[in-house]
Structure 1
């Protein structure tokens, strides 16, 4: 039994697009590479063939994982998100009480995390500590470098 994957509509569309690309572009390209390497003769000493077969195995594994993710996806209804406490898909503004740095993150499912876009996975220590808390609360987070205290300044969508 696979676990349920909570995704936004945008996140699910991104996964479907990637899966379609892998199946329609990458898979035929690797099949062509294998055929070309096979045409070069003795397969027992053909490094090109071995590399192409390994790439095919990795591609098929990625396709399988994506299919599983999509099959077990549940769309999060963004219209029903509450901002009284921190939840998935909330935008949370926090202040590091040690250095007074203010940061704003959107808490997202693991498959949609992207720090460049300030999208923080709900499985990170900071996000886990924030879940269920309210504006004004002080949250202590155990990170590899020690204990950090954050104050929740704002929760929005």
Structure 2
């Protein structure tokens, strides 16, 4: 078939989602801690003010060298610009819909809510310490889990000493809340 009749996706502009981006459930807000918001804002600022201008300068220099079809600096630079622009759009959208929550101002500190650090144990007695954070700041290996994760959803609104049920693909588990800590104001 002639290439003129085939629409090829040259630019990934339609897909502003990062591969690691978590889609928020419909009708929910993008809750974030102040630290998480600042981290995303700092990344956006870095991309716009430092990294993008540097790549534009490299692409401009590479384009001035002539034949662009085999110019690695030019081709890589254009690809990197598309990646940066996609990430800028993603961060801008996420920050626009962000709702910053200060867990230190939580009035009901006896229950698990967004921003709480929770110590719990499973049926085998193994203890876990997690902090419930926004989807964009979750780092499970560092103990930061998203508020929409199954564990966080099971723990939300629980009190110290309470046992909650966690439904997983491998079966039902019981988690006991041992301690709830909120950061100081």
* TM-score range relative to shorter protein: 0.7 to 0.9
**What is the match of residue 109 of structure 2?**
83
In structure 2, the CA distance between the partners of 1:147 and 1:40, relative to structure 1 (3 Å rule), is: farther
Instruction: Identify which of 50, 62, 70 aligns with 1:45.
Output: 70
Structure 1: gaps of 5 or more residues: none
Give the deviation of 1:115 after TM superposition: 3.1
Structure 2: gaps of 5 or more residues: 1-26
Residue 69 of structure 2 aligns to a residue whose secondary structure is helix
Any conservation in 2 of the 1:3–1:72 contact (CA below 8 Å)?
no
- How many residues align structurally? 155
Matches within 5 A, 1:62-141: 62-78=87-103, 79-97=105-123, 99-141=124-166
Hey, what's the Cα distance between the residues in 2 that align with 1:86 and 1:45? 57
Any conservation in 1 of the 2:30–2:99 contact (CA below 8 Å)?
yes
RMSD: 2.1
Higher helix share: 1
Any conservation in 2 of the 1:140–1:150 contact (CA below 8 Å)?
yes
With normalisation by structure 2, the TM-score equals 0.74
